[in-house]
Structures are given as structure tokens and as C-alpha cells.
Amino acid sequence: MPVIIAAAALAVSAYSAVEQHKEAKKAAAAQRESSRINNNSQKASDIAQRRQKYREERIRRAQIIAQASASGASGSSGEAGAVAGLDVNTGISTAFTSGKALASEGVSTALQSAANHEGRANTWGQIGQVSNTVFGATGSSLFETTTTTTPKPTFPRRTNF
């Protein structure tokens, strides 16, 4: 009877480990999909921000040119300096936005990698549990050690020298 119970426990344990592994793979796939959607959303947002910055820069450039033309300073160094300053500020802002997007993507990739490794670790843990069940069913264990101790020899005390 104990052999039948041990075999049933082994079968349930193995089935449980397989099902848990399947569900962990599905969870990892869902997490990858979520990460992909988040990255795409972030990229779309970054593109929209860049477009808005360039649009604002073009409007501001037109205002500077119109003001310079109205005041008779068209083509002056002041106009050129103001326009160049717009170019620099727009470039800095765009670079910062792009850097943020790359950092976000890097964090997302690292988190996904960590989740993948955690899933593999759980799989190996399940395999270890199944093997422990097998060894438990056979009445042995990898981690059990039987030690026998030899009693210390006792010698009679000599009291008279």
C-alpha cells in the first residue's frame, strides 16, 4: 500500500510541475507582450513629443523672422543668433527625450530578462521537488546522511602510582 501511495504522490507531483511550468511560460509570454506594447506606446509618445517640439520651433522661428522683418532687422546677426538658439534648444530637448526613451527600453529589457531567469529558476526548483519526491518514495534522500558514531573508548583510571 505505501508503494501505491508513493507512486500516486510522484505522479501528482510530476503533473503539478509540468502544469506549473506551462503556466509560467504563458505568464512570461504575457509579460513580454505587455512589455512590447508598453515600449511601442512609449515610442509613439516620444515621436509625438518630438513633432510638437519641432512644430513649436517652426512657429517661434517664423515669429522671430516676422519681428525682424517688421523692425527692419531682417538678415541681421540678432535674427541669426535667435534662430540658431532655437535650433540648439530644440536639439537638446529632442536628445533628452530620445535618451529617456532608450533608458525606458533598457529598463524594460532588463526586467524581462529577470523574469525569464526567475521562470527558469522556478522550473529547476520544480524539477528538484519532483526528484525529492522520487527519492522520498523510495525511502532515500540525497540530503540525508546517516552517521554512525563510535563510542569513545574508556580506560580504567589508575589511582596508585
Contacts of residue 90, Cβ cutoff 8 Å, sequence gap at least 6: 53, 54, 57
pLDDT tens sequence across 36-87: 888 788 888 888 888 888 888 888 888 888 887 888 777 777 777 777 777 7
- What was the pLDDT predicted at 142? 44
At residue 150 the predicted structure's pLDDT band, cuts being 50, 70 and 90, is low
- What was the pLDDT predicted at 138? 58
- What was the pLDDT predicted at 56? 86
Please give the biggest Cα pair distance in the chain.
Answer: 128
Would you state the torsion angle of the CA atoms of residues 32, 38, 41, 47, taken in this order, to the nearest 10 degrees? Answer: -100
User: pTM for the whole thing?
Assistant: 0.48
Nine cell digits for residue 132: 525529492
- DSSP 8-state symbol, 1: -
pLDDT tens sequence across 71-81: 877 777 777 77
pLDDT tens sequence across 89-146: 777 777 777 777 777 777 777 777 777 778 777 777 777 777 676 666 555 444 455 5
